[in-house]
Amino acid sequence: MKLKLFTIFLFLIVSFVSCSNNIDKEITNLLDKRKSAFEEKNPDIYENLILSSYKVETRNGNKTKEDVLKDFRLNTTPFDSIEMSHKDRKVTNEDGKAKVVQKTTVLLALEDQNTKYEITEVLILQKENNEWKISKESSLDLFRGFVFGKQN
């Protein structure tokens, strides 16, 4: 009897761990594609990562998928290059949604100017057609960390 209970317990733990690892891989894959979209300044890649029914309330009204795509273009187009890296990523999964908290380092180049800064991002993801999608984008604003004009 004890052996049977132990076997069931062990099976449940292995199932939970393998399911958790699969979710982590899917989310990591989405976040890698998001990073590539920014670095390649590619709105087509980015658009495929956003929930089709994206709608977030802000101080200025509701933000839709089209607004997020517009912000993406405004944020990426001016720069010659964008490099991003992430660390200290924490993913929590609750009620079919995942919350990602990560430190993001951004390196921006525009003509002969470069700037580097780090922010903490929070993204909310949820499943759509069995794929993770961004249901709430972080407040990443590439211009916030960039200083225009020559520095002495």
Residue with the larger pLDDT of the pair 21 and 117: 117
Residue with the larger pLDDT of the pair 95 and 146: 95
Closest CA to 49 of 63, 62, 60, 38: 38
Closest CA to 144 of 108, 100, 103: 108
21 confidence band (pLDDT: 50, 70, 90): low
Summarised one tens digit per residue, pLDDT across range 22-72 is 568 999 999 999 999 999 999 999 999 999 999 998 888 899 999 999 999
Please say if the pLDDT value at position 79 is more than 80: yes
Return all residues near 64 (Cβ < 8 A) that are at least 6 apart: 54, 55
Q: Residue 74: which H helix or E strand, with range? A: helix 65-76
Q: Residue 133: which H helix or E strand, with range? A: strand 131-136
pTM equals 0.79
Q: Which domains does the chain have, with CATH numbers?
A: 2-145 (3.10.450.50)
Contact, 68 vs 62, CB < 8 A?
Answer: no
